[in-house]
Amino acid sequence: MKIAIASDHAGFTYKEAIKAKLTADGHTVTDFGTNSTAPVDYPDFIRPAAEAVASGRCDRGIVLGGSGNGEAMVANKVHGIRCGLAWNEDSARLTRQHNDANVLSLGERMMTEATALALVDLFLATPFEGGRHLARIQKIEHP
């Protein structure tokens, strides 16, 4: 699978760990930054990752920050992106299973690294079950 990944400074450490695991698992990972823990403006990194998923250059995306909230908001402004914020196994599974999310947002300050790695695995492995509401979600136009 081709996976876009991006973070701000507060998500950098987990981004690096996730990137290493995904690569070891055989995925192709495109890293949109940031490249250190130096303070940055997260939209500069999150939006290009979301655009790569929306355009089809990447199959899925993973974005990280301190809480993951701002990153999810930025990703969801890109037409064609359905970014879900996850904090436990149920939220990661359901964002795929029920909402067909194509981007996962995680908060480094909200969980352990082991939890973040487990949520990424669950997100990537969970299929979408389908549902009548998804067609409506996908047609929503962003201003």
Name residues whose C-beta falls within 8 Å of residue 131's C-beta, 6 or more positions apart in sequence. 98
Of residues 9, 51, 71, 108, which has the active-site annotation?
71
Reply yes or no on whether 98 is catalytic: yes
Distance (Å, whole) CA 99 – CA 80? 13
Encoding tokens for residue 65?
């920050």
Of residues 98, 108, 129, 142, which has the active-site annotation?
98
What are the beta bridge partners of residue 61? 4, 103
Question: Where in the sequence numbering do the catalytic residues fall?
Answer: 71, 98
